[in-house]
Amino acid sequence: MTTLTRDHCLALDAADALAPLRELFELPEGQIYLDGNSLGVLPRATAAKLREVVEDEWGRDLIQSWNKAGWIHRPQTVGDKIARLIGAGPGEVIAADSTSLNLYKVLSVALQMVQAEAAPGRRVIVSERENFPTDLYIAQSLAQQHGFELRLVGADEIAAQLDGSLAVLMLTQVNYRTGRQHDMAAVTAAAQRAGALVVWDLAHSAGAVPVDLRGSNADFAIGCGYKYLNGGPGAPAFVWMHERHAQRMQALRVDQPLSGWMGHAAPFEFSTQYRGAAGITQFLCGTPSAIALAALECGVDSVLASEPFGGMAALRRKSLALTDLFIALVEQRCAGHGLSVQTPRAHAERGSQVSLIREEGGYAIVQALIARGVVGDFRAPGLLRFGLTPLYLRHVDVWDAVEHLVQVLESGEWRQERFNRAAAVT
Ligand SMILES: *Cc1c(COP(=O)(O)O)cnc(C)c1O
């Protein structure tokens, strides 16, 4: 293997066509932010946009802004922008609520569909043991309510579960711990051949890797607004379903369970009887947050700004270059320090993060890195996670981050007591 140098990284940055995108973000001086997989950075456009929404639209125009500023249509207009990043069509995505709530809605619909089709043998929901806990908690609740069994298996055991008992396969495309990516088209096709529905969580995919929901013939998808979409802390999430299911929901008389007025076919008729809107709009529940959606729109725009440079395909090439570089540098420079790479080497199986594992001291090593301005995070029991966001990270940032990691390990500074105290959010 060639020996990598910092100069080599600087040369890669000088030749990087995506480099100008970094200017779209407020990046704190002296910090290398490797946590865009947990909370995306602040786009430069967001503060001014929020000032306008607060001062002009809310402060001056008040309630007229629902029409005048288009607040009421924001779940759909922002959804249409997200659609461009995930291989969905216009009118197929809405931005609303949280990932957990949207999962509750679509998984409930999927289970009700199976029940309405009187498929009594199909009683199993399969997911991954290592899926994000909120997804599993939501599935536990729905399995209990509707009389299904939730079966949790390892990623390599999924194929063996695809049989006539499977109602719904619920997977997160890119695993939040390992950064491992499923082949959406292949897994979807295999589950559908077994007669099941597939729900994809795109929390670590949207804005991170190219996604083709239509091309993969997926059934339902949900995802997060505050990670790679840079929508701000607690940003609205999104939800998509294949258009065939809008018709099936009607034919089977299945409603999403959070049947609030914003998902009604005519909310301002103030009818006493719920009647779901057509298409994806029926997945709305209550009043959208105009401020939060404005911030999310700025975040989504910051990803769409890559379109003139080749869009998600170009971001993907850079993401793989950054994760390859990070892995190579860790292997060359941290050898003998007990770190091993958890993230798959095969490009097709990798998201936009690298996870390292170490038996001891992982939390403290991450804290020592944060004190040096290199922000990653830690997931128990021994995972050090580094999100490598191609929109604003440079190759030299990867070099410098690993240099700090080498110093933290060689000096043993992570053993200091101050790095070993657990905070509420890790
Ligand atoms: C981040 C994440 C969530 C977050 O859900 P919230 O409802 O926003 O708290 C859900 N699922 C997965 C897989 C995630 O990575």
Cα(224) to ligand 1 centroid in Å equals 6
CATH 3.90.1150.10 is right for the domain spanning 70-303: no
Tell me the DSSP string of 152-219: EE-GGGSGGG-STTEEEEEEESB-TTT-BB--HHHHHHHHHHTT-EEEEE-TTTTTTS---TTTTT-S
8 Å CB contact between 280 and 240: yes
* 137 has catalytic annotation: no
Q: What is the rounded distance in angstroms from the CA atom of residue 173 to the CA atom of residue 15?
A: 31
Q: What is the rounded distance in angstroms from the CA atom of residue 350 to the CA atom of residue 307?
A: 22
Q: What is the rounded distance in angstroms from the CA atom of residue 37 to the CA atom of residue 385?
A: 9
Beta bridge partners of 166: 124
Cα three-residue angle 162-164-170, rounded to 5 degrees = 45
What CATH number belongs to 6-42+310-419? 3.90.1150.10
The structural domains of the chain, with segments of one domain joined by +, span 6-42+310-419, 70-303
For ligand 1, atom 5, which residue shows the shortest CA distance? Answer: 99
Q: What is the pLDDT along the chain (426 residues), one digit of tens a residue?
A: 567 999 999 999 999 999 999 999 999 999 999 999 999 999 999 999 999 999 999 999 999 999 999 999 999 999 999 999 999 999 999 999 999 999 999 999 999 999 999 888 999 999 999 999 999 999 999 999 999 999 999 999 999 999 999 999 999 999 999 999 999 999 999 999 999 999 999 999 999 999 999 999 999 999 999 999 999 999 999 999 999 999 999 999 999 999 999 999 999 999 999 999 999 999 999 999 999 999 999 999 999 999 999 999 999 999 999 999 999 999 999 999 999 999 999 999 999 999 999 999 999 999 999 999 999 999 999 999 999 999 999 999 999 999 999 999 999 999 999 999 887 777
Return the SS3 of 384: strand
* 274 has catalytic annotation: no
418 to each of 31, 114, 358, 370, 413, how far by Cα in Å? 20, 53, 19, 12, 10
Q: In the chain, count of helices (H) and strands (E)? A: 12, 15
* 201 has catalytic annotation: yes
Name which of 314, 324, 223, 235 is nearest 21 in CA terms. 314
Q: What is the rounded distance in angstroms from the CA atom of residue 144 to the CA atom of residue 225?
A: 28
* 226 has catalytic annotation: yes
Residue 341 is inside which H or E element, if any? strand 340-341
In this prediction, residue 1 carries a pLDDT of 54
Residue 239 is inside which H or E element, if any? strand 237-241
353 to each of 12, 131, 160, 179, how far by Cα in Å? 19, 16, 28, 6
| 76 backbone dihedrals φ, ψ, rounded to 5° | -80, -40
Cα(65) to ligand 1 centroid in Å equals 30
Amino acid at 394: R
Name which of 218, 225, 276 is nearest 95 in CA terms. 225
Amino acid at 150: L
Pocket test of ligand 1: the residue of 130, 176, 289, 296 to mutate, having most ligand atoms within 8 Å of its CB, is 176
Q: What is the rounded distance in angstroms from the CA atom of residue 224 to the CA atom of residue 342?
A: 23
| 95 backbone dihedrals φ, ψ, rounded to 5° | -105, 120
Cα(100) to ligand 1 centroid in Å equals 6
Return the SS3 of 42: strand
8 Å CB contact between 284 and 96: yes
8 Å CB contact between 132 and 170: no
Q: Given the residues 25, 33, 148, 226, select the one marked as catalytic.
A: 226
The edge-to-edge listing of strands for the beta sheet with 237-241 is: 93-96, 237-241, 220-223, 197-201, 166-172, 124-128, 149-153
**DSSP class of 56:** I
**Cα-based torsion angle of the residue sequence 326, 331, 336, 339 in order, rounded to the nearest 10 degrees:** 50
Pocket test of ligand 1: the residue of 104, 135, 199, 425 to mutate, having most ligand atoms within 8 Å of its CB, is 135
Over the range 9-42, which residues count as b (16 or more CB within 10 Å of their CB) and which as e?
A: beebbeebebbebeebbebeeeebbbbbbbbbbb
Q: What is the rounded distance in angstroms from the CA atom of residue 139 to the CA atom of residue 338?
A: 36
Number of the ligand 1 atom closest to the C-alpha atom of 132:
13
